[in-house]
């Protein structure tokens, strides 16, 4: 299971398809879910600044994985 899918499972959103492309704009996740994801990502992979993220980072599992990879690289 990829990192984004693991995090979505932790916030009880593990049933989301990896092919889903509109997680945020489609209402599959909401702003509270995004806040939980940001908190989990920062705890697991390093500090996240507000300038590091935007809403498009949460539109798909692939986008969330890309965000995780950017945060990991920044904090290495």
**Higher per-residue confidence, 8 vs 14:** 8
Domain count, the chain: 1
Q: Is residue 55 part of a domain?
A: yes
**Higher per-residue confidence, 18 vs 8:** 8
Q: Is residue 37 part of a domain?
A: yes
Q: Quick: pLDDT tens for 11-53.
A: 988 788 888 889 999 999 999 999 999 999 999 999 999 999 9
pLDDT confidence of residue 1: 59
Helix, strand, or coil (residue 62): helix
Distance CA 60, CA 76 (A): 24
Average pLDDT over residues 54-76: 95
Residue with tokens 């798909």: 60
pLDDT confidence of residue 13: 86
Q: Are 11 and 48 in contact (CB under 8 A)?
A: no
Residue 34: which domain range?
3-7+26-75
């Amino acid at each position: 299971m990829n990192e984004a899918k693991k995090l979505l499972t932790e916030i009880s959103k593990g049933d989301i398809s990896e092919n889903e492309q509109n997680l945020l704009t489609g209402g599959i996740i909401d702003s509270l879910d995004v806040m939980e994801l940001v908190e989990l990502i920062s705890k697991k992979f390093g500090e996240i600044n507000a300038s590091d993220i935007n809403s498009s980072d949460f539109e798909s599992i692939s986008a969330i994985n890309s965000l995780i990879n950017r945060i990991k690289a920044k904090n290495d």
